[in-house]
Amino acid sequence: MASPSTARPDRPAFSPERLAAAAGNPPPISPMGWTRIGVRATGIVAILLPLIVLHYLWRALRQSSPWPRLFLGWTGWIAGARADRSGIPVRRNVVFISNHVSWIDILVIAGASGSAFVAKAEIRNAPVVGWLSTLNRTVFVTREDRTGVGDQIERLREALADTWSVTIFPEGTTDDGRSLLPFKSSLLKILEPPPPGVVVQPLMLDYGADGPDIGWLGDEAGQHNALRVLARPGSFRVGVNFLDPFSPVDFPGRKAIAAEARTRIEAALAAVLGRTVETFIGHAAWASGIAGSLDESSSASVAAAL
């Protein structure tokens, strides 16, 4: 169980710039912001070039490559994420089930566990992150492609066999880091029946007060979100909380597995927030600007004030 966060100072409501970004109108990036992007991009290239060579060498030798974990974890650090891990990740034969806030999730989880991923197809086109994700056997899915679920599940099984762990984001999209969506169970068909010895470990990500700002919300394009995050000053904390694992055999069926994982993640997030976890208000509400006018009793407004 995650430890409750320390008290956070009050913050004003969402800025006009944040709401504009969610509406699909990216605010202009300042010269200092472009400088930060340039410095961070240079840092990523500098550390990745030698590791890429090692990665493909390992692949040529048909060895499991440890280098993508370093690629992604260090890229997350350069992007400003400071992972604060709690709990012990299972090292092999594990399916992590996590809440989903940002493309940063992939970087910090990979750095903490070396896991492969399931991610929405838009991430494939995000600057830098999309390409890096392919190195770690990320399975990109399209929410509307119901006919391709069987192929996606087969690629998931291959990723699990190759990397020993895989992370699934069953909300099907991102949230604001302060609330949750219902968990979809289609991709958990990989656990029907569960492969021998495989366990499920719920994982709760906590971006603290920065969640709504870091989050990929509304109609914001992936590349715009990536540039906006890379242009931010300073760093931000991400709690990577590995919760107690459980055997999928004890919860027969993908829907039961999804429900149990959500229950545990919800309890951990509620402990951090100090309140009941509400249902995410949705991307349409962010895109339309409704998130900027909610009262203090609403989930998004509470998130902004934490």
pLDDT of residue 1: 43
Give yes or no for residue 8 having a pLDDT over 50: no
pTM for this model (two decimals): 0.83
pLDDT higher at 305 or 121: 121
Residue 300 is predicted with a pLDDT of 46
**HSE-CB for 96 with a 13 A CA cutoff:** 33
Cα angle 224, 228, 234 (rounded to 5 degrees) comes to 160
What are the helix (H) ranges across 61-147? Answer: 67-78, 104-113, 129-135
Contacts with 134 (C-beta within 8 Å, 6 or more apart), sequence order = 124
Q: Nearest 5 degrees, angle CA 164-CA 169-CA 172?
A: 145
E strand or H helix at 203? strand 199-206
Q: Do residues 229 and 102 touch, judged by C-beta distance below 8 A?
A: yes
Q: Which two tokens stand for residue 76?
A: 């997350």
What CA–CA distance (Å, rounded) separates 238 from 222? 20
| pLDDT tens by residue, 11-69 | 446 888 999 999 999 989 999 999 999 999 999 889 888 888 887 888 777 776 777 78
Please say whether the beta carbons of 120 and 141 come within 8 A.
Answer: yes
pLDDT band for position 5 (50/70/90)?
A: very low
Lowest mean pLDDT among 208-222, 241-255, 280-294: 280-294
Residue 62 has a pLDDT of: 73
SS3 state of residue 260: helix
Omega into 212 within 30° of 0, i.e. cis? Answer: no
Q: State residue 163's pLDDT score.
A: 60
Measured CA to CA, the distance from residue 153 to residue 24 in angstroms comes to 32
- Could you give the 3-state DSSP secondary structure of residue 15? coil
CA dist 299 and 212 (Å) reads 11
Rounded to whole angstroms, the maximal C-alpha distance in the chain is 58
Q: At 257, which helix (H) or strand (E)? A: helix 254-273
User: Tokens at residue 68, please?
Assistant: 């993508």
Q: pLDDT of 114-152, one tens digit each?
A: 888 877 677 777 666 677 667 777 777 765 555 555 666
pLDDT (0 to 100) of residue 72: 85
